[in-house]
Amino acid sequence: MNDLGPDYGAVDDDMFVARYRARCHCGAVCYEVGADPVDAKICHCRTCQSLHGAPMQWAAIFHKRHVRMTRGIEHLRFYSGVLDRPGRVPPCKVSCALCGTPVADEGRRMWLAFPTLFEFGAKGEIPEAFRPTCHIFYGQRVVDVDDGLPKWSGHKNASDKIDV
Ligand SMILES: [Zn+2]
Ligand SMILES: [Zn+2]
């Protein structure tokens, strides 16, 4: 296995033009994306909090065809937070087995990348398309965020908004 499957960009596809590159902390796992994300959100759900060891998770969403692994696919570890067991059953968590970095969430149709793994050039400026558009599962938050973005109690456009 040298790629993530037919839904994803192929390593030998000459038409694939890398736009941004991402890597885990140890560098064993590297991948690239060939487009801007379609959306970016910050999730405050309990599952993200525990699986990331962090108060919230920032994810940028890509179509799978715009994602391709360039190194370390053999080091990927998959875990289903839904089934509570290891395994590649989307939606599932993808991490580096060597350093433990959460690499992405693999959805059924989309790849939810973590922008903090990306190299954004010398100045490290976050491209506009990666900026969060909202907070989701804000009802489960452990810290308040005063940034003026919409706050949803659950999923975006499918739950109540929380006034802050
Ligand atoms: Zn790693
Ligand atoms: Zn979450």
Q: What's the 24 CA to ligand 1 centre distance in angstroms? A: 5
Beta bridge partners of 113: 60, 104
Q: Which of 110, 104, 130, 127 is nearest to 41 (CA)?
A: 130
Q: What's the 48 CA to ligand 1 centre distance in angstroms? A: 19
Query: pLDDT-based confidence at 124, cuts 50/70/90?
Result: confident
d(CA 144, CA 29): 33
Q: Which CATH architecture has domain 20-133?
A: Beta Complex (2.170)
Ligand nearest to the CA of 81: 2
Q: What's the 119 CA to ligand 2 centre distance in angstroms? A: 23
Residues 6+ apart with CB under 8 A from 77: 86, 94, 95, 96, 97
Residue 130 reports pLDDT greater than 80: yes
Mean pLDDT, to the nearest integer, of 117-133?
90
Query: pLDDT-based confidence at 102, cuts 50/70/90?
Result: very high
Query: pLDDT-based confidence at 16, cuts 50/70/90?
Result: very high
Ligand nearest to the CA of 102: 1
Q: What's the 26 CA to ligand 1 centre distance in angstroms? A: 4
Residue 113 has φ and ψ, to the nearest 5°, of -85, 155
Residue 1 reports pLDDT greater than 70: no
Show the tokens assigned to 105: 């969430």
Q: Which of 4, 3, 29, 8 is nearest to 97 (CA)?
A: 29
Mean pLDDT, to the nearest integer, of 29-48?
97
Model confidence, pTM: 0.93
